[in-house]
Structure 1
């Protein structure tokens, strides 16, 4: 896998985690654009898995790293303290990839 593809994969995963955090911790600001962003980036990951099956094991390896980035980005964008967001992802890998999942 090229470095470019790996960066795109990690970027998509980070965006999903970031938007899930915003969705969970700012329920009053939920928007269609957040749901659209989640759908788009989840579809990108699904396509990446189809095109490059070797990404599946990598997904679990980079999951926490991407979550930590998403946690920081969510804190900056929302203005909420970083401590608002758990150190460990409140979302399972299966939930992150599920096209329908939204934290309620």
Structure 2
């Protein structure tokens, strides 16, 4: 009994991936499970965008905490800022088209970040600027913002 690639998807996902790659390399296009392949490719795009949005939100939140709760600055905050800045910039190196998405979600991400910063710090929302106080370049270069005294 031969198992179709569509059935293989449900039975052994890793084997389905290997088989699909092999079929594509061999140009055996009539045997490919296009429905699941398309679904997985679209899921990968969503995953990359969700990861970018999450990293941006976390980065902006920590930049706000760093600027507006300076008496509580910590190496952990600095680490988080550098880590998420690096993640975003690495995502741009592997997928430059994500920069457009970054531009599209920047303001919305800031709105989320300042709400989260308010909750985490216990500070009122009106203690943070309504408009993002950081330029996109500031955010993308935030790993370089620290002095030896920080």
| TM-score, reference length from structure 1 | 0.94
Large movers: runs of 4+ above 2 Å: none
Aligned to 1:101: 145
Instruction: State yes or no: 1:85 paired with 2:108.
Output: no
1:25-104 to structure 2, matched below 5 A, reads 25-98=68-141, 99-101=143-145
Q: Does the 8 Å contact 2:49/2:101 carry over to 1?
A: no
Give me the whole-angstrom Cα distance separating, in 2, the residues matched to 1:101 and 1:57.
Answer: 24
If asked which structure has higher relative contact order (CA below 8 Å, sep 6+), I would say: 1
Aligned to 1:19: 62
Unpaired stretches in structure 1, ≥5 consecutive residues: none
Give me the whole-angstrom Cα distance separating, in 2, the residues matched to 1:88 and 1:96.
Answer: 14
Give me the whole-angstrom Cα distance separating, in 2, the residues matched to 1:58 and 1:4.
Answer: 13
The partner residue of 1:8 within 36, 51, 56 is: 51
Greater CA radius of gyration, 1 or 2?
2
| TM-score, reference length from structure 2 | 0.66
CA RMSD of aligned residues (A): 1.3
